Amino acid sequence: MRVLVTGGAGFIGSHVVEALAARGHEAVVFDVRCDPASDVRDTDAVRRALTGVDAVCHQAAMVGLGAGFADAVEYVSRNDLGTAALLTAMADTGVRRLVLAGSMVVYGEGRYACERHGVVRPGPRAVADLEAGRFEPPCPACGAALAPGLVGEDAPADPRNVYATTKLAQEHLAAAWARATGGTAVSLRYHNVYGPGMPRDTPYAGVASFFRSALARDEAPRVFEDGRQRRDFVHVRDVAAANVAALEASPAHGALTAYNTGSGDPHTVGEMAHALAAAYGGPEPVVTGEYRLGDVRHITADSARLRAELGWRAEVGFEAGMREFAEAGMRTA
């Protein structure tokens, strides 16, 4: 299979390229890092790159929370306009197979249960609560404490920041393209991806990058809130393998299928910071009590659908992955 990988020189994209080659496929890298003319927002450039291509693995995106709403135009341009231009070119050239780099951020908060009211969906956390160090969202019906659980793909979308909103819009665009063309579209909703080649010292990376960058500067990782927020840290090689599995699968035509892509082994942010610092041999993490508006408290995946339908499962365990990440090189851009 000949696969166009947008963002193929980036953190996740480069691992996807390696995974495709290992399976005997040919990857065509389309990335502004390699060629300034390879801008996914340029429909003509994408159309030329699609010559002889069987499928597209769309990794190109602006990621992370960035600098708040000031980045909204850039996020929408890179993520949503870029996806629209790509899909237009695919419609024009007859390429009918897409795997999209989705994200768990489309859910907002994860799944919560109240002893009295069952499964509930708390709204955005109030600034007054965050300032007072009350980080856990209460039951919206009675104010009681909630128990976090695993969120499934059928949970309603509730994006809480600009980045999350653009990732959901990408899925809607891909679904509309699939319906209009009869194409197949898969969105892999990545959880917290980490691993070798992660970008360093950038506000647009994930928390694992923030901590690893601090350790490289011989500084203590700064853990926001109380460090007890739960995430699913999934290794980049496992994410790359999920992309290959999705490309080799036979999903439904004329629709988008979403799959949570997580390790299935949730940990708190504090646990991750301590594991990484210990593996690196650096300063102990510092819990700051700071917060970022738009962050959610707990979001962990139920990836059972991906395992059942595509035969994928995460292979890199948390401790081994953190040890490798502590020693691995990072990219500067």
8 A C-beta contact, residue 31 and residue 8: yes
Residue 207 CA to residue 214 CA, distance in Å, equals 11
DSSP 142: T
Structure tokens at 288: 């700051």
Cα–Cα distance list, 175 to 97, 98, 216 (Å): 12, 10, 42
Given 107, 163, 259, 291, the catalytic residue: 163
Residue 115 CA to residue 84 CA, distance in Å, equals 44
Backbone dihedral angles phi then psi of residue 94, each to the nearest 5 degrees: 85, 15
Q: Burial of 250 by CB count in 10 Å (0-12 exposed, 13-18 middle, 19+ buried)?
A: exposed
Residue given tokens 């694992």 in the structure block: 208
192-194 and 26-30 beta bridge pairing: unpaired
Buried/exposed code over 144-180 (b: 16+ C-beta within 10 A; e: otherwise): eebebbbbebebeebbbbbbbbbbbbbbebbbebbee
Q: Which residues contact 276 (CB under 8 A, 6 or more apart)?
A: 208, 211, 212, 215, 221, 322, 325, 326
Residue 162 CA to residue 172 CA, distance in Å, equals 15
Residue 163 designated active-site: yes
Residue 316 CA to residue 333 CA, distance in Å, equals 25
Residue given tokens 């104010």 in the structure block: 143
Write out the catalytic residue numbers: 163
